[in-house]
Amino acid sequence: MNTAALDIATLREAYDAGDLTPADALTGIAREIENRDGELGSYLSHDLELALEEARDVDLSLPLGGVPIAIKDLISARGQPCGCASQILTGKYIAPYDATVVRRLREAGAIPFGRTNMDEFAMGSSTENSGIRPCRNPHDPDRIPGGSSGGSAAAVAADLAVAALGTDTGGSIRQPASHCGIVGLKPTYGRVSRYGLVAFASSLDQAGPMTKSVADAARLLQVIAGPCQFDSTCLDEPVPDYVAALEDGIDGMTIGLPREYFADGLDSRVRERVEAAIEKLEGQGAKTVEITLPHLDYAVATYYIIATAEASANLARFDGVRYGLREEAGDLISHYEKTRAAGFGDEVKRRIILGTYVLSSGYYDAYYLRAQKVRTLIRDDFRKAFETVDVIASPVCPTPAFRIGEKSSDPLEMYLADIYTISANLAGICGISVPCGTVEEGGKTLPTGLQLIGKDLGEPDILRAAYAVEQG
């Protein structure tokens, strides 16, 4: 039996029945990774011996007792490598502590197992920018799995992981979830602690679950959400029962359809699948209304100013002095130059340069400050929309997964792959991708996803709407 093909609930049932032990599950997953991940590249590393040690003392009565969870390679797990899929850290840094999300997983009985591939420092939309090796889509290995959490998405979709954690700065959970045909949830900013995550853009980053089902996403969010004394941006709000909310149904829910999300540029086949999913929601009692988000046209430009500016500040710590790759040179400036030239990939360098430029003297007001003002307008658009609707529905991606290398020479084209997802990060609100069918392309069957966006702390609403789509 491939235990990684099971969802959390089914795996727990097998434990309760005595059909499996956590050691069996871990050994089975490790065997599948060894046999099948060579082509996909969804994992960067896994330590079976360390995981089996944890499994010996695990309490199966806990909410996630004995459940292996794959971890994106920028989330710290004590005693495990945390390389951010980069040359500057991989093989040179072992995390000395647990990120809050990992600590909470352990406290709930889960076993962090395996470091999943990603775009280097989470900078990318395809996981082609991994500094170690590219990751491939399980539905067609010639195509991208999405990014930056492509390894987590591919591992779950290929039944190489029961569930995984990813991070979402501009769509990096939802977009690969859509391309790989799984569920991916980006929580409200501050709903989940960022302590122990290697920062890309601190005002945008959020960790969240990537799972085989909506119920599993609710189970993981239940565990990792909540206030954290180590993260001042984490919200001091009670955590509702997300799993129970799934059964509330959507009768009477009002769903907004932004005209800007259904305009030119959306693949007609994707549009058909998304509209069919929306019809499922209507069939279960939801009402749909057209809305407008007038500043959405500025979201991509706004995001890539704010995100790169914050990245340039956050990545300044990687200087080869305190940890990571160190390239010796005759003086300090040369040392910085040689270390960063060797340790950072092209996309990371591009974003650092862009961010440093928009923060530089004479350009700060023209770019960064103006982008922050537009960000406020985008957030206001959503706030006004949620005065009349409960949830907003849209595509996740404008097209199915594209071929590896197809957009590598055109960064702008690559950036536009996130056009439907980045606005939720700018507004700080929650969103989920749920599978809504497949399209045929090049002789392959490729998944696509429906995006459901909720207001601040609106995770119960988007989860029950996603559950309604999943149940059909």
Could you tell me how many helices (H) and strands (E) the chain has, helices first?
16, 11
Q: Map tokens 């071929």 to a residue.
A: 403
Q: Which residues are catalytic?
A: 72, 148, 172
With 0-12 / 13-18 / 19 or more C-beta atoms within 10 angstroms meaning exposed / middle / buried, residue 320 is buried
Per DSSP, the three-state class of 465 is: helix
CB 95 within 8 A of CB 53: no
Per DSSP, the three-state class of 100 is: helix
CB 433 within 8 A of CB 177: yes
CB 389 within 8 A of CB 289: yes
In terms of DSSP bridges, do strands 164-168 and 68-72 run parallel, antiparallel, or are they unpaired? parallel
Q: Of 70, 78, 66, which Cα lies nearest the Cα of 108?
A: 66
DSSP string, 270-312: HHHHHHHHHHHHHHTT-EEEEE--TTGGGHHHHHHHHHHHHHH
Q: Map tokens 């995984």 to a residue.
A: 164
